[in-house]
Amino acid sequence: MTSQGTDKTPARRGLMLILSSPSGAGKSTLSRLLLEREPDMAMSVSVTTRPPRPGEVDGEHYHFITREEFEKLRDEGGLLEWAEVFGNFYGSPRAPVEKALAEGRDVLFDVDWQGAQQITQATGEDDIVRVFIMPPSAEELHDRLRRRAQDPEEVIARRMAQAASEISHWPEYDYVIINDDLQKADEELASIVRAERLKRHRRTGLHNFVRAMTAKL
The confidence score (pLDDT) of residue 1 equals: 42
The domain covering 16-209 belongs, at the CATH homologous superfamily level, to: P-loop containing nucleotide triphosphate hydrolases (3.40.50.300)
Q: pLDDT exceeding 70 applies to what percent of the chain?
A: 96
Task: Pick the more confident residue, 85 or 189.
Answer: 189
Please tell me the distance from the alpha carbon of residue 212 to that of residue 199, in angstroms, as a whole number: 20
89-144 pLDDT tens trace: 999 999 999 999 999 999 999 999 999 999 999 999 999 999 999 999 999 998 88
25-49 pLDDT tens trace: 999 999 999 999 999 999 999 999 9
The answer to whether residues 16 and 129 touch, using CB atoms and an 8 Å cutoff, is: yes
| Whether pLDDT at 181 is above 70 | yes
Nearest residue to 102 (alpha-carbon basis) of 2, 5, 16:
2
Please state whether beta strands 79-85 and 128-134 pair in parallel, antiparallel, or not at all (unpaired).
Answer: unpaired
Query: pTM to 2 decimals?
Result: 0.90
Q: For the chain, which residues make up each domain, given as ranges?
A: 16-209
Task: Pick the more confident residue, 54 or 158.
Answer: 54
Q: pLDDT exceeding 90 applies to what percent of the chain?
A: 84
